[in-house]
Chain A
Amino acid sequence: MARAISPQKKWTFTILAWIVALILFFPILWTILTAFKTEGDAILFPPAFLPPHWTLENFFEVQTRSDYFRHFFNSVVISVGSTLIGLLVAVPAAWSMAFAPTKRTKDILMWMLSTKMMPAVGVLVPIYLIFKNLGLLDSLAGLTGILMLINLPIMVWMLYTYFREIPVDILEASRMDGAVLWKEIVYVLLPMAIPGIASTLLLNIILAWNEAFWTLNLSAANAAPLTAFIASYSSPEGLFWAKLSAASTLAIAPILVIGWFSQKQLVRGMTFGAVK
């Protein structure tokens, strides 16, 4: 039922909303614009909104001076790798809790959630020392493992809430049709759960891509993903704003796009299904 809204009201809200939206988006927009400026133009005062001289120089500079793509590659390996490994563990667990719940299922879910609440800093020391002793410091394997662990509860939860929406009848029908468990999961459950699995995948890639406690503390030159690489601009390279912006733009662009596509599912994933 559409209510009649006066055009005046429509335009007032529209203008107001756009102003707020542009203010919130401005730092990102500014970063992207600055990436295309020369270093000189970047620190003009008063600032030049659009680049007076458009240039791609900064992007090349960032790559040649600091091997940008190595860090980009690290970010991809860590975020995608931790998500895929996590799914391998989380899908069976979520299947189990959604379709064969027991009296303890709820407690297990709550317990998983509570591991997520343990502050990372509380276990920084032992993890650092374990990593040091096992030679995992500054390794992609170590970071992938850690990020898989910290996101595993969210994955199980998200998949659980999605699986619960699939009628158990259909899985039972496949059992009557003679499907053994792995066939039931591969041929029936997974195809039906593709939207849910895709959102889980995307949200976890976003979270892993942006994770900035463990990546900063457990990586150095070798395995550093973009979060840690960008942190190296804190000083004194941060004075080169155009290059900082170019590096930042490259670092945020892929995840920004993924984020736009998955914003609806994000609500559900981040709130453990409490808000849909």
Chain B
Amino acid sequence: MAATVNTRRLARAMLTPAVVILFIWMIVPLVLTLWYSFQNYSLLNPTNVGFAGWTNYQYFLTDPAFFQAFANTLILTLSVLAITVIGGILLGLLLDQFIYGQGIVRILVISPFFIMPTVAALVWKNMLMNPNYGIFAWIATSLGMQPVAWLETYPLFSIILIVAWQWLPFATLILLTALQSLDEEQKEAAGMDGAGFASLFVYITLPHLARAITVVILIETIFLLSVFAEILVTTGGGPGYATTNIAYLIYHLALLDYDVGGASAGGVVAVILANIVAIFLVRLVGKNLEA
């Protein structure tokens, strides 16, 4: 579909601000990060400034903390993905049934997604996971078990629980929406063909959900790779580096150790890792655009 030269000229003028702003936003900090990553630049030691070559990268990539942070990032991302996708499918299937008070149930289920990360993390840390007064401790004692100091004993698992609680509603909502667009007649036809619940799910429902599941996985991945606030207010990355992910490690280097060069090298690494994921997402959404 085309329009007149006049319209097209106007259209270009209207698009320009958004493109220019985003371009500057993307390119300037990125170039600076790259530049700093090759500099000796510490806010604590202003005299030692100069070209550093690959040393920042060397330090960052060989730091045992990096390995742990990398592993933690992977574990956190994959666990939350697994919980939310599987849980989201099950919940989506459940909410797709006839339920009295469906509207209210939907609202209750989606709510955790709207809670700001700092609130979510603090409420879980204090009021649910506290070993002396928390709800989990109460449940444990009621069942005759010993209360657990969740964040000290199972720090990463606790973070995973909190983050999964925030993202399960998102997965559920998306998958439920996709389920509701499944043609009722198609299900009935399969039912007429003698498909039971299990084969209906495997052959009709799951393929229909494939696209929504991919979307959920990729969008969650963007956010999960850079979980930050939840760690900051609960464990501060500890004990040791037990809950430090890459985002938190770089934050620590930059704003607590004032090592601009090192943090920038870490930033470049994080950007590269994220881009690997991004390529897949862009392809996926692009394909859906054409459809």
Interchain CB contact under 8 A, B119 and A251: yes
B270, A31: Cβ atoms closer than 8 Å: no
Determine whether the beta carbon of A89 is less than 8 Å from that of B15.
no
B:119-169 near A, CB below 8 Å? 119-120, 122-128, 132-133, 135, 137-138, 141-142, 165, 168-169
Partner of B36, one of A96, A126, A149: A126
Nearest residue (CB) in B for A2 is: B98
Interface flag for B49 (CB, 8 Å) = no
- Cβ contact within 8 Å between B126 and A238: yes
Q: B74 on the interface (CB 8 Å rule)? A: no
| Contact for A241 among B126, B141, B274, CB less than 8 A | B126
Bound form: Cα–Cα A270–B167 in Å: 12
Contact across chains for B135 and A47 when beta carbons are under 8 A apart: yes
Question: Are A117 and B228 closer than 8 Å at their CB atoms?
Answer: no
Residue-wise, chain A 190-209 has the 8 Å CB interface mask toward B (1 for contact) of 00000000000000001001
Q: Contacts A20-B91, A25-B111, A260-B107 given: A152-B168 contact, CB under 8 Å? A: no
| Chain B residues within an 8 Å CB radius of A82 | none
In the assembled complex, A271 has its CB within 8 A of some CB on chain B:
yes
Question: Does B52 reach chain A (CB closer than 8 Å)?
Answer: no
Who on chain B is nearest to A230 by CB?
B118
Interface size classification for chain B: 35 or more
Contact B112 A125 (CB under 8 A): no
Decide: B127 and A34 in contact? CB cutoff 8 A: yes
Bound Cα distance from A6 to B3, whole angstroms = 57
From known contacts A43-B133, A251-B119, infer whether A152 and B22 are also in contact, taking CB-CB under 8 Å. yes
Contacts of B98-121 to chain A: CB distance below 8 A: 98-102, 104-120
Are B22 and A234 in touch, CB under 8 angstroms?
no
Asked whether A176 is an interface residue with its Cβ less than 8 Å from the other chain, the reply is no
Tell me if B264 and A125 are in contact (CB < 8 A). yes
Residue in B111, B126, B174, B181 whose beta carbon sits within 8 Å of that of A28 in the complex: B111
B228's nearest neighbour on chain A, judged by CB, is A213
Which residues on the B side are within 8 Å of A123 (C-beta)? 29-30, 32-33, 267
| B interface: dominant SS | helix
Q: Report the Cα distance A251→B36, complex, angstroms.
A: 37
Q: CB-defined interface of A35-59 with B at 8 Å, one 1/0 digit per residue?
A: 0000000011111000000000000
Residue ID in chain B nearest A260 by CB atoms? B107
Q: Is the CB of A210 within 8 A of B177?
A: no
A24/B169 contact (C-beta < 8 A), A212-B116, A275-B215 known = yes
B116 and A227 form a contact (CB under 8 A): yes
User: What is the total of A-B residue contacts with beta carbons within 8 Å?
Assistant: 320
Asked whether, in the complex, the Cβ of B165 is within 8 Å of the Cβ of A27, the reply is yes
Report if A168 contacts B (CB, 8 A).
yes
Residues of chain A contacted by B271 (CB below 8 angstroms): 118-119, 122
**Given that A119-B247, A259-B111 are known contacts, is A212 also in contact with B277, CB under 8 Å in the complex?**
no
Dominant SS among interface residues on chain A:
helix
Write the B256-283 contact mask toward A (1 if CB under 8 angstroms, else 0): 0000100110111011011101100110
Q: Could you tell me if B108 and A212 are in contact, using CB atoms closer than 8 angstroms?
A: no
Query: Which residues 226-276 in A have Cβ within 8 Å of B in the complex?
Result: 226-228, 230-231, 233-234, 238-239, 241, 244-245, 248, 251-252, 255-256, 258-260, 263-264, 266-267, 270-276
- Shortest Cβ distance from A102 into B: residue: B8
Q: Is A20's CB under 8 angstroms from B17's CB?
A: no
Cβ of A100 under 8 Å from chain B: yes
Q: Which residues of B contact A241 (CB under 8 A)?
A: 126-127, 133
Chain B interface residues (CB < 8 Å from chain A):
1, 3, 7-8, 10-12, 14-15, 17-19, 21-22, 25-26, 28-30, 32-33, 36, 91, 94-95, 97-102, 104-120, 122-128, 132-133, 135, 137-138, 141-142, 165, 168-170, 173-174, 177-178, 181, 184, 188, 211-212, 215, 219, 222, 225-226, 228-229, 232-234, 246-247, 250-251, 254-255, 260, 263-264, 266-268, 270-271, 273-275, 277-278, 281-282, 284-286, 288-289
Q: With contacts A20-B91, A121-B251, A275-B174 known, what are 12 further pairs, Cβ within 8 A?
A: A14-B98, A14-B99, A24-B111, A27-B127, A110-B286, A118-B26, A121-B246, A212-B117, A216-B228, A234-B122, A267-B174, A276-B177
